[in-house]
Structure 1
Amino acid sequence: MKQYEIINLYRDGVSFRKIAQRLDVDRKTVSKICHRYQEGLEAVIHSQSEKELEEATHQVVSSHQYNTKNRTTRTFTPEVDQLMRDIYQQEKIKNRRLGSHKQALTAKAVHELITDAGHSIGYRTVAHYWSKLKEKTREAYIRQEYPLGHRVEFDFGEVKLEVAGKVGTYYLAVLACPASGFHWAYLYTNQKQAVFQEAHVQFFELVGGVYREVVYDNMRNVVTRFIGKNEKELNESLLKLSLYYGFDINVTNCFSGNEKGTVEGRVKSVRRAIFSKVYQFQNLEAARDYLSQGLIQLNQTSQIKVERGSLLAYRPPYEVATVHQCRVNKYSTIQFKTNHYSVPDYLVQHQVQVKEYAEYLLIYANHEEVCRHQKIEGSHQYQLDIYHYLKTLMKKPGALKHSKALKNNPDLETLYYQHYKGNAKFFIEQLSKFKQLSHQELLKQLKRASLKQPITNGFERNQVILEVESNLQRLNKLYGLEVTSC
């Protein structure tokens, strides 16, 4: 947290000496952090390879370690805050019951109640927060006008859609720019940290630069925990993202949606304008495409083209993936979290590296990508690619019929039982032959190839003859050539 404050002041042009005085940090520490940050930014801009970019990014966002053993603990803890609020609620109940009276709790009495409960806290601290708690002045709102390129506001909004015949809750990640009137949104299946970060990366890529300030509410992706009444510990992943891109973090007060009113309104307008009339889609990609087209219409009057000239410099996309190590089991799958994903069968009992992104996994072996999978929404499920098992199936064709890999591909399973039943080896050969084709073209080629399959025994021969005769009867009937007996 100190590192973020130091770099924030440094970006505002404050000298090392003044930063050290203001934050009570050694000037050498300030100098070291700022120089490391500046060198990292220059390395990001001039990086020539993925490895150089990765090292430079690490230098920008890595944390400086502090010696905290001599720091004193805070006395106004969340427990004290909650106790004081409970005392205040009881005081309001007493006032309603007694009416006008002279037995109101003083700050001294409140201090005694808190210390009697076992908390060590000074009287002046209690008096300060007690007086704040009793303030009843109405809040005044100050109209704001932001310069172009200065501010963007972030929020999540829920939307219910019917996708592939199933009704579910999806999440709109929305970023709204008050100055230009531009807003962007993307549809996700969850609100996890990876999704939260990916939304930022997508947005900065789209606008081609970075806003100076991003505003959030107190969502868990932003605030890790509350310290006392007003202080917050920001999420480390968000701090790294802000250090890399160079934007300031602005977190609103609790229950103060008006402090980011632009995005609050945009979430509602996007949901109403785009998904109130159309809510049924064949798949998630179709819903996203529909959202993208709707946003083009909503942003027609925005000044985003002008605002682009006022943004901070473009940065290469921030790497949002987390890396995991997994071992391939005897079924040629890895268990990632609570689900199972297939990998090529030659990797059985080997270690692989898994790069986890918001919606998909990349799997590497010996630093080479071997496959990728869409992440499964749910738990204890399997995602198996039948192509990962072709080498093994060629040796064990009898294992195909009841394999989970075939059942995980309904179109192929149906085609196999309709046209290749009892001839698994030939089916596997054709599958290997046409695996580079698109899915629809693959199905067409497999149907054509089924007419050329060898007949291996009498039973299968009879089945083929019956199928041919049945097809001929249908054609004769269709063209009026069917012969009737006398």
Structure 2
Amino acid sequence: MDKVYSIRRLFYEQGKSISDIIAETGHDRKTIVKYLDMTNFNLPEPEPSDPEALCPKLDKFKPLIDSWLMEDKNAPRKQRHTATKVYDRLEKETEDFDCSYRLVAQYVAFRKQKLNLDNKEGFIPLIHYPGEAQADFGAATFFENSMEHEGKYLVLSFPHSNAGYPQLMYGENSECFMEAMIAIFKHIGGVPKEIWFDNASTIVTKILKDGQRELTDKFLRFSAHYGFTYKFMNPNSGNEKGHVEAKVKYTRNNFMVPVPHFVSLADHNQILLSESDADFDREHYRHEGVTIKSLFEEDKAVLLPLPEIDFDCSRYESARTDKWGRFNLDEGKHEYSASPEAASDVVWLKITSDKVFVMDMDHKPIVTHRRLYGDHKQSSMEWLPYLTAISRKPRSLFNSGIFEMMPESMQKYMKSCSNTDRGKVLKILAEQTKRTGFDSALQTVKQALMYQATDPDSLQNLYRRIYSDVPVLPPLPSQKGVPGVIQMPVDLSAYDIALKKGGVING
């Protein structure tokens, strides 16, 4: 249509002659006249095709094609005739064959449908060999240090043995996914030969028409580093990795109920791995008298060796800070602080599943944040660089943006301090923040406000009283054989005589 439009535009809009159009476009006169005289630009309605009535030249070969396709009913799915294979065999094994590939492909597709060889609604039982694994995600709520997380968990399952290992994660990003996979690899002492995945966006960027995938560069490097072969399921085909989907449900019912409460996610994930090992003493659901544990030994026997060098799962990127030294991640939902010195500048970030390491462009560390998760707006503020900076210039506190960023109780306390004490107080708060965190410094300030203690010494003493490192000793146990205390009679009259001689009046 581009060619038709160009020719008609030259003639009707620009007024050029047919000879001029021939010279300009290179098309022959017959073609140009045809397009100039064209009045109907509708596509012809498609005619229903009848593969049985196609080119008569194929008729004598149809019985042979049918016989090959009938034999395919007893052949493995991956070893059945394709249209290309049928065409190649007809060329090599028959005489006088001169039909086109397109004709053969149409007939093969028609006969496969008739013979139910392409039944897309049916499911074929899959055979899984030792060393194959499947990976999938589930959603779970958990509490870490009393903080609620709407997290995810990865399950790596082994269909041959029915073994499976879960790892809790804060999210479903590539850092969480790869760190969880590596933890499982290290626990079992090897890497599965082949791993089946769905089309998660952390791995697959695009599904192409021919069924191929465009994969993220990070996943390609990850798979190459550990040497496993990856396989992806067709969209909306959960049955193809039904084992891991069942294992995700089993994990939720047996390891996530009741809702987990723990102090450290890393420590709890180690517990999950150990609990999974203990769970393998169960009998396999298909093999009477055979445990999952014994079959899993067959899986482990063919695992690939772990690489000598760990894979770096971190994400590296740069960010520009605002005039207060803050920057945003995750499409602006999560705000982090850097330092006053890095205001209106570019900082370098190393992002893991649970940390955001902020560095200058020479990769010198500035601060480290706990990584934020969730779709709502949040901010993480590391106060030490700000308190350290302002303690050097305490007189500029109230004119700086730092003061406005401070919590209300700290603003009130700083206003109550004298001009001579304010610098010392800021240094003390910076020291306390460095030692036990900003929350402890803030709590000390609140106590100081209660006692109206605005001098540096009082602030320091209150901190020591609240956050003293003096260990609490257990009471001494009572022991047999220790003699009791005997009250001895004491006569103090001699001391009284001596005191009177010295001129001391004794009441």
Change (3 A) 1:224 1:123: farther
Q: CA deviation at 1:155?
A: 0.5
- Aligned partner of 1:390 in structure 2 is 387
* Amino acid paired to 1:185: P
Segment drifting more, 210-219 vs 153-162: 153-162
For residue 271 of structure 2, give the secondary structure of its aligned residue in structure 1.
Answer: helix
Please tell me whether the aligned partners of residues 425 and 455 of structure 2 are also in contact (alpha carbons under 8 angstroms).
Answer: no
Please tell me whether the aligned partners of residues 171 and 187 of structure 1 are also in contact (alpha carbons under 8 angstroms).
Answer: yes
Q: Name the CA distance, whole Å, in 2 between partners of 1:128 and 1:220.
A: 36
Match of 1:330 among 319, 323, 328: 323
* Amino acid paired to 2:368: R
For residue 299 of structure 1, give the secondary structure of its aligned residue in structure 2.
Answer: helix
Q: Name the CA distance, whole Å, in 2 between partners of 1:335 and 1:371.
A: 15
Q: Name the CA distance, whole Å, in 2 between partners of 1:433 and 1:173.
A: 41
Percent of residue pairs identical: 20
Please tell me whether the aligned partners of residues 384 and 404 of structure 1 are also in contact (alpha carbons under 8 angstroms).
Answer: no
1:108-140 C-alpha deviation (Å, 9 max, x unpaired): 999xxxxxxxxxx95555555566667465746
User: Which 5+ residue runs of structure 2 have no aligned equivalent?
Assistant: 1-46, 55-100, 281-292, 457-507
Structural RMSD (CA): 4.2
- Aligned partner of 1:299 in structure 2 is 277
Change (3 A) 1:196 1:107: farther
For residue 312 of structure 1, give the secondary structure of its aligned residue in structure 2.
Answer: coil
* Amino acid paired to 2:275: Q
Q: Name the CA distance, whole Å, in 2 between partners of 1:352 and 1:307.
A: 46
Q: CA deviation at 1:320?
A: 2.3
Q: Name the CA distance, whole Å, in 2 between partners of 1:225 and 1:247.
A: 21
Q: Name the CA distance, whole Å, in 1 between partners of 2:300 and 2:403.
A: 54
- Aligned partner of 2:430 in structure 1 is 432
Please tell me whether the aligned partners of residues 434 and 445 of structure 1 are also in contact (alpha carbons under 8 angstroms).
Answer: no
- Aligned partner of 1:360 in structure 2 is 355
Change (3 A) 1:309 1:426: farther
Greater RCO (Cα-Cα under 8 Å, separation 6 or more):
1
State TM-score, norm by structure 1: 0.56
- Aligned partner of 2:165 in structure 1 is 184
* Amino acid paired to 2:167: Y
- Aligned partner of 1:422 in structure 2 is 416
Name the count of aligned residue pairs: 333
Match of 1:211 among 172, 192, 211: 192
Q: Is 2:246 aligned against 1:265?
A: yes
Matches within 5 A, 1:207-356: 207-228=188-209, 230-276=211-257, 278-279=258-259, 281=261, 292-302=270-280, 303=293, 310-315=302-307, 316-336=309-329, 337-338=331-332, 339-356=334-351
Please tell me whether the aligned partners of residues 340 and 386 of structure 2 are also in contact (alpha carbons under 8 angstroms).
Answer: yes
Change (3 A) 1:220 1:323: closer
State TM-score, norm by structure 2: 0.54
Change (3 A) 1:246 1:280: closer
- Aligned partner of 2:365 in structure 1 is 369
